[in-house]
Amino acid sequence: MSIGDCWSFFSNPGNLGKITPPALGFAVKSELPGEIYAGLMIRYTVSPIAGIPMSWLTEITQVQKPHYFVDEQRVGPYRIWHHEHFFQGIGAEQTEVRDLVHYVPPLGPLGALLNPWLIRPQLERIFDFREQQLTKMTVAARGDSFA
């Protein structure tokens, strides 16, 4: 997939559900534009634990078309969530997608204790699913990082 086609897919917030595991019960609650922009707020619900729905409000804070954008949680399950998306063309028909996620788990000391055993492995499964879906679409998804 070319970088232009890749950007068209990722910059359309309606496509997020296509790369989110169905078990998370992801549902968008906002009206969505056809393309993201800095300042866009997106409301959705996700059910990461025992099917219990949680509200999440994300703001798109930076956009550098077609190479980069950032989403940050404003309301949701994490104390901090900052997700950077990078797109690099590889030749004319392939794009490398990289993610860098900085997060602070919820629940203070309990969240810190649960992070290596529950929270981080769940995030890794979510991004593994995403990579599988992108591979099916012929996008090179590599280098997911969590901090």
Q: Which of 95, 96, 101 is nearest to 124 (CA)?
A: 101
- Residue with more model confidence, 141 or 35: 35
Domain extent listing, the chain: 3-146
Residue pLDDT, tens place only, 95-114: 999 999 999 999 999 999 99
What is the pLDDT at residue 121? 95
Is the four-CA dihedral 37, 13, 77, 30 of positive or negative sign? positive
For the entire predicted model, the pTM comes to 0.88
Instruction: Average the pLDDT over 12-41 and give the result.
Output: 94
- Residue with more model confidence, 21 or 91: 21
Antiparallel, parallel or unpaired: β 27-28 and 41-49: antiparallel
Q: Is the pLDDT of residue 139 over 70?
A: no
Q: Report, at the CATH architecture level, how domain 3-146 is classified.
A: 2-Layer Sandwich (3.30)
Residue pLDDT, tens place only, 47-106: 887 778 999 999 999 999 999 999 999 999 999 999 999 999 998 888 999 999 999 999
